[in-house]
Structures are given as structure tokens and as C-alpha cells.
Amino acid sequence: MKNTLKRYLPNKEKLQKQGSLSFLANFLHDPNIWHLNRRSAAGGAAIGMFCAFIPLPVHTISSAIFAILLRVNLSIAVVFSFFTNPVTIPPLFFYAHKTGTWLLGEQHSQVEFHVSWDWFSTTFLEIWEPLLLGCLIFGSLASLTTYILIRIIWRYTAINRWLSRQKLKKELKKLDLNV
């Protein structure tokens, strides 16, 4: 799993050159934000998922900042922050708004979600409270679920690798080959 992730994740040099993250260049020297282990990968994914539900277009920057502050894998945090994108934002924010209005006991109104400055400057100002509450709940649940799933998957693959090595050692021992 670790090698597969390393192959597809952006590396330190790519992120330093990326325009939107260039202001973080001085903080990218911490080796902890580049380590790829179970704790760092799960933490980075959880941060990315939480930041993906921020109802403003600051997902990448906020996930990078939190990954640096909490010293988890920066690349994974940035990649997971793209969970929300122009295709997924409307249904996710619709249900977040619906959940928020239900929890606040307000009347649910039909709101069309558009990723535009006009939408943020008018409609968002009218619905921000239930939307923010719903996004906080969805982001927390998605973050916690992602963290647990990655920890379980990482542990499962590590155990399987260990068991296959043990099995190979036993087979080699049967063949009277010393390892």
C-alpha cells in the first residue's frame, strides 16, 4: 500500500512549485509531513476529508495548513481535500444544508448550489448557519470514518504481508534452505 501511495502522491518539489501553496514553502522542510506511515497517512486523509466540507473554496490551502500544524502527511491531506469538487459539491452541500436546517429546527427551503462568487455573496449569506452546521457534521463523520478505514486497511495489509513472509519462510525451511 505504501509503495502504491508513493507512486501517485505529489512530492515535495511539486507542492513547493504549486502557486497556491507557495506561501507555505518555508514550512515544507519538516520531514514529518512527508513520512508515509499508518498514523501520518490516516491523519492526512482525515484532515483532507474534513477540509473538503468547508463551504468556501479554501479546501487545499486549509488542508495543507492543518497537515503542517498537526505534522501529518501533507500530500495525502491535499489529495483527499479534492473529495469535494464541482461535481460533488452541489449534492453534498444540499444534504448538509438539509441536515443543518433539520437540526436547527428551521424550515428547509430549496436552495440551488452554484460555485460562483455571486452565489457566495448572496445566497450563502442567507443560509450559512444550517449549511455550516451540516458541513461540520458531515466533515467530522467523513473525517472519522476515513481515519478509521485507513488505519484498518493499513493494518490489514501489514498483517497479510507479515503472514505471507512467515509462510514463505516455512516453505523455504521445508526445502531445507536457510534464510
Q: What is the pLDDT of residues 109-143, one digit of tens each?
A: 777 766 677 777 787 777 889 989 999 999 999 99
- 3-state class of 106 per DSSP? coil
CA contacts within 13 A on the Cβ side of 100: 21
Q: Across all residues in the chain, what is the average pLDDT?
A: 83
Higher-pLDDT residue of 38 and 114 is: 38
Stretch 96-101: mean pLDDT: 91
Give the pLDDT band (50/70/90) at residue 33. Answer: confident
Q: What is the pTM of this model?
A: 0.76
Name the DSSP class of 149: H
Percent of the chain with pLDDT over 90: 43
Nearest Cα neighbor of 91 from 134, 60, 62 is 134
Higher-pLDDT residue of 50 and 38 is: 50
Q: Domain spans of the chain?
A: 31-151
Stretch 149-155: mean pLDDT: 95
104: amino acid identity, one letter? L
Cα distance between residue 77 and residue 60, in whole Å? 8
